[in-house]
Amino acid sequence: MARDYYGILGVDQEATEQEIKKAYRKLARKYHPDVNPSEEAAEKFAEIAAAQEVLLDPQKRAIVDRGGDPMEAGGGMGGGAGFGGGLGDIFEAFFGGGGGARQPRSRVQPGNDALLRTSITLDEAFAGVKKDVTVDTAVLCEKCHGTGSKTESKPVTCGTCGGAGQVQEMQQSFLGNVMTTRECPTCHGYGEVIQDPCTQCAGDGRVRATRDLVVNIPAGINSGMRIRMASQGEVGHGGGPAGDLYVEVQVEPHPVFVRENNDLHLRLTVPMYDAALGTQLSVDNLAGERTTIDVPGGTQPGDTIHLPGEGMPRLRAEGAGDMIAHVQVTVPTALSNDERATLEDLRDGCPDNAEVHVESNAHGDGFFSRMRDKFRR
Ligand SMILES: [Zn+2]
Ligand SMILES: [Zn+2]
């Protein structure tokens, strides 16, 4: 069947040479490979170029007017050198392969991961907890089920970029004219447009919504750790598969315990009598049980008492860290006469006297040893 060369250029059979050239230029501005790098545009341009050639040649135009096709076998360009193939090759030679190498990105995109932060108490971190969280992410549009269309109709090829997803522009620079490529402003790089966008999601295929989820936080979790919830992140453009949701856990400070890895540190304030004679005291551990701490006689200020296995449970493993009590010894400030007399008796019978400390005998990492090390360097 003969091609409709008039129809290709959008002119009628009485069109003058000027009208044909004008129609050709108008279409070329849209489909020229410099403007539009897509494969379809290259074919379309080949078509309009051929149509102009035919209609501007009185002999070929006469064949068209008789209902024939001058580009078919026997035509000026030889067998088979009609649309597409023949001219396409020419364009590839001129324009370095045309725009075929560039592909528009798929309208259906995988969704992004989402991050959410939640804080829990140290007690909750100790025992593990199921935490209710509210997630604000993109979810599949209920109305169009991700198609982005109000009706059943499929997306159509973008008219601006011819489906390439990008447009090329000639820009003048000090190097001369430079061809730049940028995302098509009409279809935003997808190469196709939805003609009847869904009223709910405006064609995105997804909408923002809040969802309530339950996060299972395991015992032993520490601040900054993230729990991954597969496919609970954002639904992608065009209803694409959802990313993952990460819940970052922040453990709140505890009034008694300071956590370091899996160890739980606490301070004990021990009167000097108890430090000298020894005592026992109990503390509520994070399991809600009373734990007895033995302060042995002769405990010095700054001494630590270790309770193995009384710390935080190891995350997804057996065992637990230690509880470590740091002893602070208090000295009475207001003494009754009796107390004073008793202490004086004690002092009289005691061989130890106050003396100047010999720093070289010092051990530990307190203020003085830090200062000493500093001066040694
Ligand atoms: Zn929708
Ligand atoms: Zn486009």
- Same domain as 135, residue 247: yes
pLDDT in tens, 84-134: 333 333 333 334 334 444 578 888 889 999 999 999 999 999 999 999 999
The verdict on 223 and 239 lying in the same domain is yes
Say how many domains are in the chain.
3
Instruction: Answer yes or no: do 220 and 325 share one domain.
Output: no
Amino acid at site 336? S
Please report the DSSP string for 69-92 in residue order: -TTSTTSTT-TT-STTHHHHHHHH
In a domain, 188, yes or no: no
The alpha carbon of 232 and the centre of ligand 1 are apart by a number of angstroms equal to: 19
In the three-class reduction of DSSP (H, G, I as helix; E, B as strand; rest coil), residue 53 is classed as helix
Residues 247 and 267 in one domain: no
Distance, CA of 43 to CA of 211 (rounded, Å): 48
Ligand nearest to C-alpha 193: 2
Tally of CB atoms within 10 A around 146 = 21
Among the bound ligands, the one closest to the CA of 190? 2
Q: Is the pLDDT of residue 352 over 80?
A: no
Residues 261 and 247 in one domain: no
> Which residues lie at CB < 5 A from ion ligand 2?
158, 160-161, 184, 186-187
Q: How far is the CA of 349 from the centre of ligand 1 (A)?
A: 91
* Residue that is last in its domain, among 202, 225, 251: 251
Domain end: 224, 251, 278, which one? 251
How many Å lie between the centroid of ligand 2 and the Cα of residue 304? 71
Mean pLDDT rounded to a whole number for the chain: 85
The CATH number of the domain holding residue 133 is 2.60.260.20
Q: Is residue 360 part of a domain?
A: no
232 and 281 housed in the same domain: no
Task: Note the ligand closest to the C-alpha atom of 197.
Answer: 1
Classify residue 185: in a domain, yes or no. Answer: no
* Ligand 1 centroid distance, CA of 197 (Å): 7
Residue 75, domain member (yes or no): no
In a domain, 291, yes or no: yes
Q: Which of 8-17, 132-141, 284-293, 353-362 has the lowest mean pLDDT?
A: 353-362
Separation CA 227–CA 54 (nearest Å): 68
pLDDT digits (tens, 9 = 90+) for 32-73: 877 788 888 888 888 999 999 899 988 888 888 877 888 775
Task: Please tell me the number of the ligand nearest to residue 162's CA.
Answer: 2
Does 39 share its domain with 147? no
Full domain range(s) for residue 142: 114-155+194-251
Structural domain includes residue 39: yes
What pLDDT shows up at residue 337? 94
Q: What angle do CA 265, 266, 267 make, to 5 degrees?
A: 135
183 Cα to the center of ligand 2, angstroms: 8
Within-domain flag for 373: no
Residue 249, pLDDT > 50, answer yes
- Write the pLDDT tens digit of every residue in 198-232: 999 999 999 999 999 999 999 999 999 999 999 99
* Domain boundary residue, one of 251, 277, 300: 251
Q: Which ligand is nearest to the CA of 146?
A: 1
Same domain, 293 and 216: no
Binding residues for Zn(2+), by number, are 141, 144, 158, 161, 184, 187, 198, 201
- Nearest ligand by distance to the CA of 145: 1
Q: How far apart are CA 25 and CA 56, in angstroms?
A: 13
**Ligand 1 centre distance from Cα of residue 242 (Å):** 16
323 by Cβ neighbours in 10 Å (0-12 / 13-18 / 19+) ranks as buried
Q: How far is the CA of 286 from the centre of ligand 2 (A)?
A: 61
Instruction: Tell me which amino acid residue 35 is.
Output: V
Q: What is the pTM of this model?
A: 0.60
My answer on whether 241 and 265 are in the same domain is: no
Count CB neighbours of 139 within 10 A. 19
For residue 306, the SS3 value is: strand
Q: What's the CATH number where 58 sits?
A: 1.10.287.110
Q: Kindly report the CA angle at 361 between 356 and 363, in degrees rounded to 5?
A: 115
Domain membership flag for residue 221: yes
Mean pLDDT, residues 312-321:
93
Q: Which amino acid is at 243?
A: G
CA Rg value for the chain: 41
- Give the ranges where 66-199 is alpha helix by DSSP (H): 85-95, 122-127
CA–centroid distance, residue 45 to ligand 2 (Å): 17
Q: Domain check: are 244 and 261 in the same one?
A: no
Same domain, residue pair 240 and 341? no
Paired sense of beta strands 245-251 and 226-229, if any = antiparallel
Question: Near ion ligand 1, which residues have CB within 5 Å?
Answer: 141, 143-144, 198, 200-201
Separation in Å, CA 260 to CA 145, 264, 265, 312: 48, 6, 7, 9
The answer to whether residues 268 and 310 belong to one domain is yes
For the cut 80, the answer to whether the pLDDT of residue 175 exceeds it is no
Tell me what pLDDT residue 73 has: 52
